[in-house]
Amino acid sequence: MALSSFDLDMIRKLVRERAGIVLGADKSYLIESRLQPVVKAANLDSLEALCQRLRTQAHTALHRQVVEAMTTNETLFLRDAHPFETLTKTLLPHLIPKRSATKRLTIWCAACSTGQEPYSVAMLIREQHPALLA
């Protein structure tokens, strides 16, 4: 049985508040499929029972498990092409001239567990803007 919009909104709010992840209304299938293992591990009967427990108990391990279930736990070189394309075609050409006086550019890679994302940024800079490395 599909979650009600009330339950889906509660899960979206929890994940947004705890992890900064915004799950659109079109992600109900993702929420429901990723939370099924949490339901089973917590010995609950349904997704609705999970939502009820989340509402009645504040800041429990179950809340953390729900947030963890909704995160993408993978790190790959050049994962998600769109951000890297935006970086190389839009952001770097805009930032490089503005930073030319200091010759410094700091790029922060959030949530990179084993480092493929920052290395991907470095590889793209080397490939697209080799003059920066001279």
- Model confidence over 9-18: pLDDT tens digits? 999 999 999 9
Provide φ and ψ at 116, rounded to 5°. -65, -35
Question: Per residue in 113-122, is it b (16+ CB within 10 Å) or e — as a string?
Answer: eeebbeebbe
- What domain range includes position 116? 81-133
Asked which of 19, 39, 70 is the last residue of a domain, the reply is 70
Residue 108 confidence (pLDDT) = 85
DSSP3 helix / strand / coil % (the chain, rounded to 5): 65, 0, 35
Confidence of residue 79 (pLDDT cuts 50, 70, 90): confident
The alpha carbons of the chain give a radius of gyration, in whole angstroms, of: 20
- pTM, rounded to two decimals: 0.61
Q: What's the token pair of residue 103? A: 């010759």
Task: State what percent of residues in the chain have pLDDT above 90.
Answer: 49
Residue 134 confidence (pLDDT) = 65
Q: DSSP character for 25?
A: G
Residue 15 confidence (pLDDT) = 95
Query: How many domains does the chain fold into?
Result: 2
